[in-house]
């Protein structure tokens, strides 16, 4: 999978949030996007997912223009801003409901994913009773569970205890080594450095290369 973002800008009314963004993402790598709160990271991720349309420019997934075609990108899962699940359902029932849309996985795969992110003990608890960190883990689980080719995360480690945060970092490295394309946005550099292969920084509506291990 190759994602190409060409000359993308985004305005809301007359306010330009993103200005002429050009960047390419390739499978088998973890990309970090850093920047202060309000710098446009979440808006950019929503553009990648097809939730917003750019004011100008194009976004290509393996040469398919999702803007022109009006598509949500294929085989892509995302956790953007805060997780949002049905409050009166348990964690596992929320994931089962999402999984039923495409019917690609069984309850066995869902349970395995909940075990991976240290949420299995809370699987039968109502989502409304979850702590911030537990909600985050459920959001990460819904990204991972169907084994998508592209995984997009916005502040994924927010509120997660240190032990599980390190476990999730290791999981993301494992997924990268399986050939997945992973994009992580955060305003906390420590969440990105040591994990991402390539780091970009949002500032003033633009995107610039900050660091690369390659």
Residue 160 lies in a domain: yes
Residue 91 lies in a domain: yes
Residue 19 lies in a domain: no
Residue 14's pLDDT is 86
Residue 35 lies in a domain: yes
Split into its structural domains, the chain has a count of 1
Residue 139's pLDDT is 96
The span from the CA of 211 to the CA of 214, in Å, is: 9
pTM, to two decimals: 0.93
Residue 214's pLDDT is 54
**C-alpha distances in angstroms, 121 versus 64, 117, 135?**
41, 11, 13
Residue 25 lies in a domain: no
Residue 161 lies in a domain: yes
Ranges of the chain with pLDDT below 50: none
The span from the CA of 34 to the CA of 199, in Å, is: 7
Which range marks the domain in which residue 178 is found?
30-53+71-183+191-212
Residue 136 lies in a domain: yes
Tokens of 47: 């553009």
SS3 for 144-183 is HCCCCCEEEEECCCCCCCHHHHHHHHHHHHHHHHCCCEEE
Residue 17 lies in a domain: no
The span from the CA of 17 to the CA of 172, in Å, is: 29
Residue 212's pLDDT is 66
- CATH number (domain holding residue 101): 3.40.50.300
């Amino acid at each position: 999978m190759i994602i190409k973002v060409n000359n993308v800008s985004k305005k809301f009314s007359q306010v330009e949030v993103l200005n002429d963004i050009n960047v390419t993402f390739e499978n088998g790598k973890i990309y970090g996007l850093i920047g202060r709160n309000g710098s446009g990271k979440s808006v950019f991720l929503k553009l990648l997912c097809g939730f917003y349309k750019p004011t100008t420019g194009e976004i290509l997934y393996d040469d398919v223009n999702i803007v022109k075609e009006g598509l949500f990108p294929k085989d892509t899962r995302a956790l953007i801003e805060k997780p949002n699940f049905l409050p009166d359902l348990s964690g596992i029932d929320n994931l089962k409901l999402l999984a039923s849309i495409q019917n690609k996985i069984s309850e066995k795969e869902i349970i395995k994913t909940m075990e991976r992110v240290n949420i299995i003990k809370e699987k039968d608890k109502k989502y409304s009773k979850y702590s911030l960190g537990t909600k985050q883990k459920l959001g990460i689980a819904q990204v991972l569970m169907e084994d998508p080719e592209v995984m997009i995360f916005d502040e994924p480690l927010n509120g997660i205890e240190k032990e599980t945060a390190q476990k999730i970092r290791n999981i993301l490295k494992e997924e990268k080594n399986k050939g997945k394309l992973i994009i992580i946005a955060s305003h906390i550099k420590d969440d990105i450095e040591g994990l991402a292969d390539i780091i970009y920084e949002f500032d003033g509506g633009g995107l610039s290369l900050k660091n690369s291990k390659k």
